Chain A
């Protein structure tokens, strides 16, 4: 990437990770351990993450678990409707390899064939702390990017 583009991207991502807004596309069984993340025990609002109801307001699309052939069409449209810069997190082992439904006639086996995925969180379903670790890795990646840009 060109220098100024990298600087702009570092600034945008730096502002993004302080207030990531997540679109509520919580379908499939991979989200069962994600719902406690919203509630009081593993409170996610303390990191600035909130749930919005509309992909146009959101920065992060969390694909939890398997997607059927019908729902992946909607997921692709919703991914395209989100404004940049955006992040996709894939929860569970289903988006990675097909998971528990690896030989089903109806589900998709690899999410990265359809939309670009930035973060995979393995588990079946992944624990709430795994989601926090994923967000932490995102913040770490952005911090490294900013350091790299400011060093030049």
Chain B
């Protein structure tokens, strides 16, 4: 238990999580001191608590929900040539997928037997 308080030393680095946790809690205290000097109140149950939507009314939460697959647009657009090539490969035919599996496995096995096995 007391051993957990020691610094964890590796050949290329060191790290003491407990010390960081103590420092983090003290920094949290410092941030809280600044935070508590601010104004606490707000008008509950008025228009203030509705989300900002350029002055319009959000009818229901489902309509305002932003789906998570938006994240992928940035990556797909940036790597579009790679993505298009992958799409062409995915034909939907199980025989093609099995052929890929056998091809890649055999390639890896050849490389392993040529250069991987120790004498």
Do any beta carbons of A and B sit within 8 angstroms of each other in the complex? yes
| Assembly CA distance A82 to B48 (angstroms) | 7
Partner of B47, one of A54, A71, A81, A84: A81
Contact B55 A54 (CB under 8 A): no
The 8 A CB mask of A52-81 against B (1 = contact, 0 = none) is 001110000000000000010111011011
Given contacts A74-B55, A75-B55, contact A81 B42 (CB under 8 A): no
* Residues on A with beta carbons closer than 8 Å to the beta carbon of B43: 84
Contact B52 A56 (CB under 8 A): yes
The 8 A CB mask of B26-68 against A (1 = contact, 0 = none) is 0000000000000000110011101010111100000000000
**A136: interface (CB < 8 Å):** no
Contact A74 B52 (CB under 8 A): no
**A36: interface (CB < 8 Å):** no
| Assembly CA distance A83 to B44 (angstroms) | 11
CB distance from A85 to the nearest CB of B (A): 10
Contact A74 B54 (CB under 8 A): yes
Total contacting residues, chain B, CB less than 8 A: 11
Partner of A55, one of B42, B46, B52, B56: B52
Per the 8 Å Cβ criterion, residues 5-21 of B in contact with A are none
The 8 A CB mask of A79-117 against B (1 = contact, 0 = none) is 011111000000000000000000000000000000000
Q: For B41, give the chain A residue with the smallest CB separation.
A: A84
Contact A77 B47 (CB under 8 A): yes
Contact A81 B52 (CB under 8 A): yes
* Residues on B with beta carbons closer than 8 Å to the beta carbon of A78: 55
Q: For A79, give the chain B residue with the smallest CB separation.
A: B47
Contact B54 A83 (CB under 8 A): no
Q: Which of A55, A78, A81 has the most CB of B within 10 A?
A: A81
Partner of A73, one of B46, B48, B50, B55: B55
Some 13 contacts from A to B, beta carbons below 8 A apart, are A54-B52, A55-B52, A56-B52, A74-B54, A77-B50, A77-B56, A77-B57, A78-B55, A80-B47, A81-B48, A83-B42, A83-B48, A84-B43
A-contacting residues of B (Cβ < 8 Å)?
A: 42-43, 46-48, 50, 52, 54-57
The 10 A-B residue pairs whose C-beta atoms are closest, nearest first, are A74-B55, A80-B47, A77-B55, A78-B55, A81-B48, A81-B47, A77-B47, A56-B52, A54-B52, A81-B52
